[in-house]
Amino acid sequence: MGNRLWIGAILLAVLFFWGVGYVLTPENGDAEFQKMLEAMEQVKSFRGTFVGTTPNTQHSERLWEVDCNRGIVHKQSKELPNGANPVEVNDDEYMVGSDQKYTRTSDGSWDKTKYEPKIYSANWYCDNLAQGTVRDLVPDVRAMLRSATIGKGDKKTVNGVRCQDWNYTMHSSTSGVRGSVCIGLADHLPYEMTTDNGGHYSYTDYNRPMQFDGPEAVLQPVSSTGGPN
C-alpha cells in the first residue's frame, strides 16, 4: 500500500512539473510568435506585397514600402472591384511625417495634401510598428497570441531566407481566419503569410535602405540606420 502511494505521488509530481514546463515553454508556437513580435518592434524599414482578394474586390495587388528613419510610408494598390462591369482602380501614395500625403494623379504629377486626424500617417504607422500594433501592413501578432491556435509546419526558403512555417487558426468573435506565417530561423521576422481565402503576403528588405520612385520631397537618400547621406 505504501509503495503504491509513493508511486502515485511520484507520478503526480512528474505531471505537475511537465505542466509547468509546458506553460513556461509552450510547444504550440506561442514562444516563436512572441519572438516575432519582439523582432518586429526593432524593424525600421521593410517592403511588403499582397496578392489576393478582399471583401470588396475580385482581385487585389498591394505594395508597401516603409522607412521609419525618414518617416515615409509608400502604398501602391491595384484593385478590381466586385460588380457586373468592374473598372480597375489604381492608387499610388506617399505618407510623410505626421500629416503630409502625396497622391499620384492621372497625368503622373503628385498632389500634396495635409490630412486630419493623424491616424494612418507615416509617423502613426511607425509608432505602431515599434509597439507591435500595426494590423494592415504586417501580421497582427498580438491578436494571434491572444486568440489563435498555432501549430508547427515545415521549414522552407522564402525570398532566399530559411524560415519555419507556423499554421494558425483564429478563435475570436470577429475572425475565424486560418493561414500560416513563415518566421525566419535566424532573425525571427515574418517572410510570408497566407490566409485561407487565398491571400498571400510577402516581406523583404528588413532594415535596409529604401529607394523610392516618388515626388522630389521624399527622395533624399538615407541609410536605414542613420541620417541623410
Maximal C-alpha separation, the chain: 91
Cβ–Cβ under 8 Å, residues 95 and 75: yes
What cell does 118 get? 493623424
* Per-residue pLDDT reduced to its tens digit, 56-87: 778 889 999 999 999 999 999 998 887 776 77
Tell the burial category of 158 from Cβ atoms under 10 Å away from its Cβ (0-12, 13-18, 19+). middle
Show the DSSP H helices in 73-190 as ranges.
Answer: 122-131, 141-147
Question: pLDDT tens, 166-193?
Answer: 999 998 766 678 999 999 999 999 999 9
Domains of the chain: 28-218 (2.50.20.20)
Beta-strand (E) ranges in the chain?
45-54, 57-67, 72-81, 89-96, 100-104, 110-114, 148-158, 161-170, 178-184, 190-195, 200-204
- Which amino acid would we find at residue 132? G
pLDDT, tens digit (0-9, with 9 covering 90-100), for 104-119? 999 999 999 987 777 8
What average pLDDT score do residues 2-20 get? Answer: 45
Place of cell 505542466: 19
